[in-house]
Structure 1
């Protein structure tokens, strides 16, 4: 792959919990994990259960692996695949892992503690790869090398969350998951995603679910957005392609196909994320 290539691959597209069933095969049931490959530079966003499949794919390359893993937040569905990411068990591999500090808890301690007794038979010390942690926060800019940069912004979500933007030359991708939207489009968020080629957006709910239509309880305060809000943001920010992501765990293939059709009618450059889907910029 040359440095003219900017490839985005979806390994996990669900939110909250992995889920499987005959009516969920087209879109998949693994939790959040997205790979961005720019030349030889590997960037991974979130480490839900989808990172297991990514790990097997990377090992099939039969090469030493160097990568950057960006965690939006440490809720379980975004980190639960880390103990099972097989490249961590190979000593010649190197990863830089980025995320937020949680008050008096360092980012590294939060990650390592998910593998403590009695929760896991796998300990962090079992990992043989060279693993390094870097704490980041809103508006931090990371120089990946070869002209590739990432920057972050905070989103409204319980216990805090980061969104990320990757820029390389005149190409870009924004990863915006776990976001409680406001009534009006957030101007800071709109500036953050302005003109991006790909906007990956939290569409956990529909407007009816979020606002509580048909006498059902609303989902305000849950820390998630809707596909309708994603469409509006994409229009106002002149986004190239909108990718609806972080699907509600009970959402069936038929429901997601219906959402995709409705979204395309409002913004034709929309697609619903599926496991294994690749997008080239």
Structure 2
């Protein structure tokens, strides 16, 4: 791991071959606020992933709003790819509040893979329309394009990069994503529920030898026994998947809205002890990997 940067840290330019991750929203189910949530943050799911300078955004919960502010400048002509794990509310509610979507001339491509190839525009159209919302995404200044695929497909982009996907066990389905760049590998695996025979062979192969796996660790083990079938997992299941796939480090993600800073600090310490280099994700935290790491 070449860098682990806390929120608002002064950052040096990354190497051109760096695969980098920044967490903008790490909560599952709904955002939270209050003094007990300061250290880890309260925004719902959104992660910025860059392959060099090439930007991908995974999920569009409330964390996409501060990401949009960070991207800043009212520049027109930008094209941005948002890869949704699925369409549950905590993963899409931030779309109309994403600053680049409010700039005419920008194009926002929204990729969805849990609908059997459908592009998600119909479902998002129902959500973002009266009486649930005052206007549709097509009423925003930017142009939205909706792209459907089947979880398990490899996504290809016109400027060269590709992203692997994998179906996940979750109500209504979900898609995992794998990013590979500069000899490094990062996997986003949320929302997922562990099951009998865990970890499954296809998911183990999908995450194999990853430098970092971002994993749905919403429940403590005792909480999960009361929530089976709800589509979420535990740190223990994530560590088992890491061991099977020889994953180097895990970021616990999709954090329960009732888990406060004190509880998450304890989880973080146990996770770091179990698999050094691992951590509980927090809003604003950035991680980068480079092929040049062994020289620095």
Q: How high is the TM-score relative to the length of structure 2?
A: 0.87
- Answering whether residue 103 of structure 2 is matched by residue 95 of structure 1, we say no
| Counterparts of residues 141-220 of structure 1 (less than 5 Å) | 141-144=154-157, 147-183=160-196, 184-211=198-225, 218-220=226-228
Partner of 2:10 in structure 1? Answer: none
SS of the residue corresponding to residue 23 of structure 1 reads: helix
State the structure with bigger RCO (CA 8 A, min sep 6), 1 or 2: 2
CA displacement 1:55-104 (0-9 Å, x = unmatched): 11112485743221001111100000011112112123222210036479
CA displacement 1:180-211 (0-9 Å, x = unmatched): 10133111110000001110000001112112
Instruction: Extract unaligned runs of 5+ from structure 1.
Output: 212-217
Partner of 1:245 in structure 2? Answer: 253
SS of the residue corresponding to residue 193 of structure 2 reads: coil
Partner of 1:267 in structure 2? Answer: 275
Task: Indicate the larger mover: 42-51 or 3-12.
Answer: 3-12
Instruction: Extract unaligned runs of 5+ from structure 2.
Output: 1-13, 290-296
Q: Is the Cα–Cα contact under 8 Å of residues 147 and 169 in structure 1 kept in the other structure?
A: no
- Answering whether residue 63 of structure 2 is matched by residue 50 of structure 1, we say yes
The alignment's C-alpha RMSD in Å is 1.9
Structure-1 separation of matches of 2:117 and 2:53: 36
Q: Is the Cα–Cα contact under 8 Å of residues 73 and 99 in structure 1 kept in the other structure?
A: yes
Structure-2 separation of matches of 1:175 and 1:196: 10
Q: Offset at 1:147? A: 4.6
Partner of 2:53 in structure 1? Answer: 40
Moved over 6 A (4+): none
Q: Is the Cα–Cα contact under 8 Å of residues 235 and 267 in structure 1 kept in the other structure?
A: no
Structure-2 separation of matches of 1:104 and 1:265: 41
Distance 1:25 1:220, change over 3 A: same
Distance 1:27 1:67, change over 3 A: same
Q: Is the Cα–Cα contact under 8 Å of residues 156 and 179 in structure 1 kept in the other structure?
A: yes
Partner of 1:74 in structure 2? Answer: 87
Structure-2 separation of matches of 1:277 and 1:37: 14
Task: Indicate the larger mover: 131-140 or 95-104.
Answer: 95-104
Q: Is the Cα–Cα contact under 8 Å of residues 114 and 173 in structure 2 kept in the other structure?
A: no
Q: How high is the TM-score relative to the length of structure 1?
A: 0.92
